Structure 1
Amino acid sequence: MTHSEDTAKKSSAILLLLTMTLLSVFPLDVLLPSFPALAKHFRTTTADISLSISLFAVGISLSQLLIGPLSDVIGRKGLLLAGMAVSIVGATGYILTTEYAWFLFFRMLQAIGCGCFVLSQALVQDLFEGKERDRLRILMVTASGVFISVSPLLGSVLQQALDWPGSFFLFIALAVVVFLKACFMLEDQRPAVTSAQNIFHAYRRVCGNASFLGYWLIAAIAFTCHFSFIVVSPLIFMDQLRMSPYAFSLTLLLYGAAYIIGGIAARVLSSRITPNTQIIVGLGLIFFSGVVMLLISSRLGLSILTVLVPMIICTAGTTIARPIATSKAMDVFADNAGTSASAGNTLVFIFGGLTSALINLSGIDLQTTLALAFLLLSAVALGLNTLINRRPSCRSELARDGRQR
């Protein structure tokens, strides 16, 4: 393969992975502005429509737990194509049905299909190497944050232009693009594993490794700090600061800019410092954001700036620390990339969901709770990183990374 052909193949793979990243956040955030219209269409309440978010989360979690290990045995391509087909059927079912029970069924069906997006991390592991792999993960985390920030505004535009089916039409169109691109771009081959393993054995193998769990937990903590803000932001901006949904959507665009800043910083740092130092820098920024939030909120009270300024710092830290922690975790079991991605992403989802729920349900002021959570979580992650790197095997890996640089 010539250099130009290799470059074109990698560019095509990056485009596929970024589209998968978009679709992984699209079914949740873009639908939020359409909740009232959906409730009216299905003759139910917005609380019942909100239940579909929980069902979607459950469905995608259960699905990815099976898809990851299976992909280590039968390959990525077939499972990705099957998952996209199922998700398209689920999204199409929404548009055609008028019954709430069927709406929940098709929502779960779409979630099961979307479980295939866990393969994005496995595909990064398969198709890229070394620093190229780390840079791509930085790009994917950055893109994910931007997509999350833009999705509510896009949902508002689609709701006004095409009513509630608009979000599903766009999802179907993007899913078809991913299906066709995967069909023609990915090779139909199995990962290089020595033998087929049952799912339980595969999970027991990866979850029994302290470094694997430690790095994924660091990635989960970095994600949780961002995710907790997303969960409580409607309560802070719309309930407490009395912003309109449209103004709230525009505010989140500023939050998305923090992902771009963090992504640029992460790319620069990745070529100048060791992975371990990069993790420390990112977690240090998250800790600093908690300090800033406590100080300026105590002096200036609750406002858009006293929330967004520390959140921009926190998000930059998340974008710097999370991709490299993910890469370090995935490198532990490179021959079981599907299982590793499934186990890690499930840990990230569970940790983020439970922590954000605790913050949301706490009786303390939300801004103070967020700040304290950032301080506590980042301190725990820094401690974990120290413990991991005290292990002899990790010290030898760090020395090797230093020589390679």
Structure 2
Amino acid sequence: MTTTAERTAPSRRTQLKFVLVLGGLTAFGPLSIDMYLPALPRMAADLHAADSTVQLTLSAFIVGLALGQLVLGPLSDALGRRGPLLAGLALYVVGSVLCAVSPDVWLLVAARFVQSLGAAAGIVIARATVRDLFSGTAMTKFFSTLMLVSGLAPILAPLIGGQLLTWTSWRGVFVVLTAFGALLLAVVVFFLPEPSATRSPLRLGPVLRTYGRLALDRSFAGYALASGLLFASLFAYISGSSFALQGVYGLSPQAYSVVFGANGVGIVLAGQLNGRLVGRVPERALLRSGLLLGVTGGALVLASVVFRAPLALLLVSLFLLVSSIGLVMPNASSLALAAHARSAGAASALLGVLQFVVGALATPLVGLGGPGTAVPMAATMAGFAVLALVAYLALARKPS
């Protein structure tokens, strides 16, 4: 990105406060999805439901997360960030309580949908708030710092969920999520001021026109598609790696947890490296490097699987591809939001929705070959990494 007039940087203490609060808000998605995954078999048994029916609780959450961002993003552009955020956090707490006390699986599915609408507020408004508070390289640096929190969340969530199940039921997991939502609600009430002074009209016509304008903006589309398509590679890894590494390559659950955690650490380290390089290296160059790293990792993953290379090479290849997220996401988010200060909420919503929608489309592809092969997972990861680079090269224009 060409140099941009920077806003007055908040003090170090204020920045730390923003990192903790906004990082907690961005962690809503992975915590709410990953923490209860170890409990799915118990939930099916306790609620006398089929596994496929219980899995609808995950589908309902992802659908609500996408729809909630589309609605709450423009709402925060019109009403300010605090009001919709507080309402969303309150809704998350209510939804989490309903999940904890649901007597049957269908009420649990509905409660998860309610919970997801509240979680969407945290995710979309946190990203828009970063755009309100920062600009230029400062914004990219802050997004990189957030990777420290958002990168750790998917690593820790399954571990926390598994440990909780050693001394409580699956309902206890939702009690913990209720407490997490209530804590963030209190923190936002007392420690997060209204960051946005600009307002956009809250009418359906202007909102739809804003989404249309964003979708037709080649640069925005290029950055959004680059991040969304690479995120689909990560979705393919998350949904397929457990079956591939344990079922095909024979890793124990404990060894798989170590591999999964190490790759999550790779995201964090790449994000922190990005934060140190921003300002000395243009954001576009860092984004392009991250996409090339993803393509390289994806190609090596596919080659390792197809040619049955040693497991060590596959693990290194997975590390490269997953780590590339830490370079791509901060830069793509910053570049996509840079020119849309007045519609940061709507732009943030499209970024988030695209990630989850494309990721959801990638997930079924992983299982096409059955349980005895890792080729579909590898091909899906490599294919979406290549598409991410192509989208960037074809659509993202260099600023004049």
Q: SS at the partner of 1:162? A: coil
Letter in 1 for 2:222: G
- Go from structure 1 to structure 2 and tell me whether the alpha carbon gap of 1:241 and 1:89 turns closer, same or farther (over 3 Å shift): same
Q: Structure 2 CA distance, aligned partners of 1:207 and 1:297?
A: 37
Tell me how far 1:22 sits from its aligned partner.
2.0
Answer yes or no: is 1:53 the counterpart of 2:61.
Answer: no
Q: SS at the partner of 2:342? A: helix
Q: Structure 2 CA distance, aligned partners of 1:377 and 1:259?
A: 18
Answer yes or no: is 1:163 the counterpart of 2:163.
Answer: no
The residue that corresponds to 2:25 in the other structure is: 20
The residue that corresponds to 1:182 in the other structure is: 188
User: Per-residue CA shift, 1:25-70, capped at 9, x if unaligned?
Assistant: 1111111111122122212233221111001111121111110011
Q: SS at the partner of 1:161? A: coil
User: Per-residue CA shift, 1:93-135, capped at 9, x if unaligned?
Assistant: 1222322222222111111211202111101111223222111
Q: Structure 2 CA distance, aligned partners of 1:21 and 1:114?
A: 9
Answer yes or no: is 1:307 the counterpart of 2:278.
Answer: no
The question of whether the paired residues in 1 share the 8 Å contact of 2:147 and 2:268 is answered with: no
The question of whether the paired residues in 1 share the 8 Å contact of 2:365 and 2:377 is answered with: no
- Go from structure 1 to structure 2 and tell me whether the alpha carbon gap of 1:93 and 1:218 turns closer, same or farther (over 3 Å shift): same
The residue that corresponds to 1:344 in the other structure is: 351
2:144 pairs with one of 128, 138, 148: 138
More deviation, 149-158/64-73:
149-158
Q: SS at the partner of 2:281? A: coil
Q: Structure 1 CA distance, aligned partners of 2:100 and 2:76?
A: 31
Q: Structure 2 CA distance, aligned partners of 1:201 and 1:342?
A: 14
The residue that corresponds to 1:205 in the other structure is: 213
Q: Structure 2 CA distance, aligned partners of 1:179 and 1:45?
A: 35
Identity %: 25
1:78 pairs with one of 78, 83, 92: 83
Tell me how far 1:154 sits from its aligned partner.
1.5
User: Per-residue CA shift, 1:131-170, capped at 9, x if unaligned?
Assistant: 2211121222343232212221221101112221232122
TM-score (normalizing by structure 1) = 0.88
Answer yes or no: is 1:230 the counterpart of 2:235.
Answer: no
User: Per-residue CA shift, 1:260-289, capped at 9, x if unaligned?
Assistant: 331233223323311111111111111111
Letter in 1 for 2:156: V
Answer yes or no: is 1:108 the counterpart of 2:113.
Answer: yes
- Go from structure 1 to structure 2 and tell me whether the alpha carbon gap of 1:130 and 1:337 turns closer, same or farther (over 3 Å shift): same
Letter in 1 for 2:389: L
- Go from structure 1 to structure 2 and tell me whether the alpha carbon gap of 1:52 and 1:4 turns closer, same or farther (over 3 Å shift): closer
- Go from structure 1 to structure 2 and tell me whether the alpha carbon gap of 1:5 and 1:208 turns closer, same or farther (over 3 Å shift): closer
Answer yes or no: is 1:150 the counterpart of 2:156.
Answer: yes
The residue that corresponds to 1:37 in the other structure is: 42
Q: Structure 1 CA distance, aligned partners of 2:195 and 2:130?
A: 15
The question of whether the paired residues in 2 share the 8 Å contact of 1:153 and 1:250 is answered with: no
Answer yes or no: is 1:66 the counterpart of 2:71.
Answer: yes
RMSD: 2.4
Tell me how far 1:301 sits from its aligned partner.
4.2
- Go from structure 1 to structure 2 and tell me whether the alpha carbon gap of 1:168 and 1:279 turns closer, same or farther (over 3 Å shift): same
More deviation, 3-12/62-71:
3-12
Tell me how far 1:382 sits from its aligned partner.
2.9
Alignment of 1:197-276 (within 5 A): 197-198=203-204, 199-276=207-284
More deviation, 47-56/253-262:
253-262
Q: Structure 2 CA distance, aligned partners of 1:83 and 1:44?
A: 30
Alignment of 1:310-349 (within 5 A): 310-349=317-356
The question of whether the paired residues in 1 share the 8 Å contact of 2:287 and 2:332 is answered with: yes
More deviation, 107-116/248-257:
248-257
Q: Structure 2 CA distance, aligned partners of 1:99 and 1:318?
A: 38
More deviation, 288-297/321-330:
288-297
Tell me how far 1:204 sits from its aligned partner.
1.8
- Go from structure 1 to structure 2 and tell me whether the alpha carbon gap of 1:252 and 1:376 turns closer, same or farther (over 3 Å shift): closer
The residue that corresponds to 1:9 in the other structure is: 14
Number of aligned residue pairs: 390
Answer yes or no: is 1:192 the counterpart of 2:201.
Answer: no
Tell me how far 1:395 sits from its aligned partner.
3.8
